[in-house]
Structure 1
Amino acid sequence: MLKKLLFIIIVFIALALGAMFYVQKGVDAFLGQSLRIESPQLVTIKRGNSLNTVFSQFQKNDWIDESPFSQLVRRFHPELSQLKVGTFQLQPGMDLTQAIDVLNEGIEYQLAITFIEGSTFKEWREQLSAAEHLNQVASDMSEADIAAQLEIPQTKLEGLFLAETYHYAVGDSDLDILRRAHNKLDRILTTNWNNKQQGLPLKTPYEALILASIIEKETAVASERERVASVFVNRLNRPMRLQTDPTVIYGMGERYDGNIRKKDLRERTPYNTYVIDGLPPTPIAMPGEASIHAALHPEKSRYLYFVASGTGGHVFSKNLRDHNRAVQKYLKTIRSQK
């Protein structure tokens, strides 16, 4: 009798172990299947989503096959159920286990938007409205409304954001990026203002920002920025009008067609530094950090003029006679290139 009972127990244990082995193999086969995706795919995990919710979504997308073993994954692999909230990217070639690992690691998929130094707020708004997976909150707001949301005292936002690359996650808003860009510019402007060169003809950080925006538009040659800044600082100290073409162009707005005519130089707009004294009322573009630094740390020079060389960069002059010669040389170089 005892032998018979022992035999039954052994058989029962063997069956249980066999069943356990069978289920384990089924779970492993389910987790080992490759995702049927041919390009990177985004997956968003919301608060409260479970592992079974994820499996159901994958099956609905036809990324994996259904299996009766899917409900048992948490029992055999509890470590796979630590899902993080966010949006994640899955890559072709992943199996289901690798995909779930991505959702557990919590490293969200990051997108990026790059604003070019010297671009305008109008161009920023166009970029933001076209940005992928970005929540459009500010698209229908006026500049004044955006300024109020960001707690910026100016109602015209030109120049008040730092031009660089910003990374964001799916679900972030255009207002989030603008807030980050303004805060970063504010930190850089404050740091440079607090360590500025002494004796500059700039009364406020905002005036420094205006000058930085002009420097940004006048040269893309990094080694020239401090020298260009010195020309404008020397003119402001004289005082001489800045007479810089980018301010004329900005004042023309949509009327600018790629050419500046004599009548444009004589037109009185708030930004035309050929007819107004001192700085224009606002920045004319978004400056980068280097131009902000140049505006507050100009080269020590006696230059009052500069003109394009025609071969890259500019020629700087200390008097009008030398400047006129540089202009004639530039025009000759341009004609020879046609």
Structure 2
Amino acid sequence: MTQASSAGSKRQRLPWWRPRRSRWAQYVALTVVAVTLVVGGVWLSRTYQRVIDYPDRPGVGSAEPIAIEVAKGASFPQVLTQLIEAGVIPEDEGLYFKLFVLHRGAAGKITAGAHTFRADMTPEQVLAELVRAQRTEETRVTIPEGRNILEVADILAVAGYGDASVILAAMRDPALLKELGIEGESVEGYLYPDTYKFPTAATPDQLIRRMVEQHRKVFDNLKRSHRESLEELKKTLGWGDREIVIMASLVEKETAAKHERPLIAGVFLNRLRFSSFQPKRLETDPTIIYGCTAALKKSAACEKFEGRIRRIHLRDPDNPYNTYTHEGLPPGPITNAGKAAFEAVLAPKKSRFLYFVSRNDKTHQFSKTIAEHEAAVEKYMRQGAVGDGSAAGAADPDAE
């Protein structure tokens, strides 16, 4: 043995007090790592497969229907809680379902209303039911032209939308009026007469918003087609939208005869425009009746109103709607006018007429002078003459 090999042999020999390093511990550690990796891999593989299969995996419950009502505005976590509590989604799968819905981006698409599930449905089927468009139950309601808020409230109450007094309170709600941008003490004049299909579960506020929306839609279309008339009304009378709504309500209540509306609108406008006509009182009976029946505050004379206008009502200065004692327009609309009444105001028939009186046949006799008017009053009101239903009373050979 050489000296070098002897020295190497000495270097490899360990002292007696140091234990020899065993390879057994290393084998055990490697085995543990290998087993952990295998088990982890199997777990990950199974978990991944479970996630992949989850949407189409049937539930383990029964096929009995489970009814759940999703409240309007309910959040997805609230809906998920309902599903778990009802047994549609197993509690231990709540997280899976949550991730599934979030992955689909459907958390904000859940529809409020009644839903029907089964405990054996797949997550895909459960989600499809949650986002299913709800069939809205509707009620057909017709609001005729020329009805005021008291009458509209009654119509809606009969249709099943609650007590008339509650509906009327909503029509006068200051907060709602401010939201809708309506002046005055109520939505009078802005509830467009039409046939509607209202959701059966709609609230009074929702009904009012729908009718006001329709009013604005129709009115805006009319304004676009009568720009020159709008400018003329603004220039000569200083009128804006509200004044037109008020005038349309007067025309609506004065006549049901289609051919007379533009002429009656013209008479009212003549009274306001002609400098020779003084004082500028419109003197129309429906305004008195409105002030005594539908107005929020009523005068002492109106408290005695029994359905028929008497002298005390004609002379009543405390009724702000009394156009026999107050000049110009009343403080607000007196009914909800239809499209024809608005068109009459925006396209009135030009004439020199300043007066009209009923011919007792749903038409009127028009006059240019007070003498002609008094003669017509004598004939039709005092003597009870009846017209023939024609437009003869509106004839004006001197019309412009």
Q: Give me the TM-score of the superposition, normalised by structure 1.
A: 0.65
Q: Give the aligned length.
A: 249
Report the counterpart of residue 242 of structure 2 in structure 1.
206
Report the counterpart of residue 155 of structure 2 in structure 1.
127
Report the counterpart of residue 114 of structure 1 in structure 2.
142
Report the counterpart of residue 311 of structure 1 in structure 2.
361
- Structure 1 residues 316 and 135: CA distance shift in structure 2, 3 A: closer
1:267 aligned residue (291, 299, 316): 316
1:199 match: secondary structure = helix
Distance 1:193 1:46 in 2: 40
Deviations 1:14-63 (A, max 9, x none): xxxxxxxxxxxxxxxxxxxxxxxxxxxxxxx945314x69xxxxxxxxxx
Superposed CA RMSD in Å reads 3.2
- Structure 1 residues 280 and 214: CA distance shift in structure 2, 3 A: same
| TM superposition shift of 1:160 | 1.8
Aligned pairs for 1:78-227 within 5 A: 85-86=133-134, 108-132=136-160, 141=170, 142-194=172-224, 195-196=226-227, 197=229, 199-200=232-233, 201=237, 203-227=239-263
The residue identity in structure 2 corresponding to 1:124 is: V
Aligned pairs for 1:42-57 within 5 A: 46-50=113-117
The residue identity in structure 2 corresponding to 1:265 is: L
Deviations 1:80-100 (A, max 9, x none): x989544xxxxxxxxxxxxxx
The answer to whether the 8 A contact 2:359-2:386 is kept is no
1:167 match: secondary structure = strand
Distance 2:190 2:264 in 1: 21
| TM superposition shift of 1:185 | 1.1
The answer to whether the 8 A contact 2:360-2:385 is kept is no
Distance 2:282 2:253 in 1: 14
Report the counterpart of residue 90 of structure 1 in structure 2.
none
1:322 match: secondary structure = helix
The answer to whether the 8 A contact 2:192-2:336 is kept is yes
2:271 aligned residue (218, 232, 235): 235
Distance 1:287 1:110 in 2: 25
Higher RCO, Cα 8 Å, sep 6+: 1
2:306 aligned residue (241, 257, 269): 257
The answer to whether the 8 A contact 1:134-1:171 is kept is no
Report the counterpart of residue 4 of structure 1 in structure 2.
none
Q: Give me the TM-score of the superposition, normalised by structure 2.
A: 0.55
The answer to whether the 8 A contact 1:118-1:216 is kept is yes
The answer to whether the 8 A contact 2:149-2:168 is kept is no
Distance 1:232 1:336 in 2: 24
The answer to whether the 8 A contact 2:184-2:332 is kept is no
2:232 match: secondary structure = coil
Distance 1:199 1:304 in 2: 20
- Structure 1 residues 280 and 46: CA distance shift in structure 2, 3 A: closer
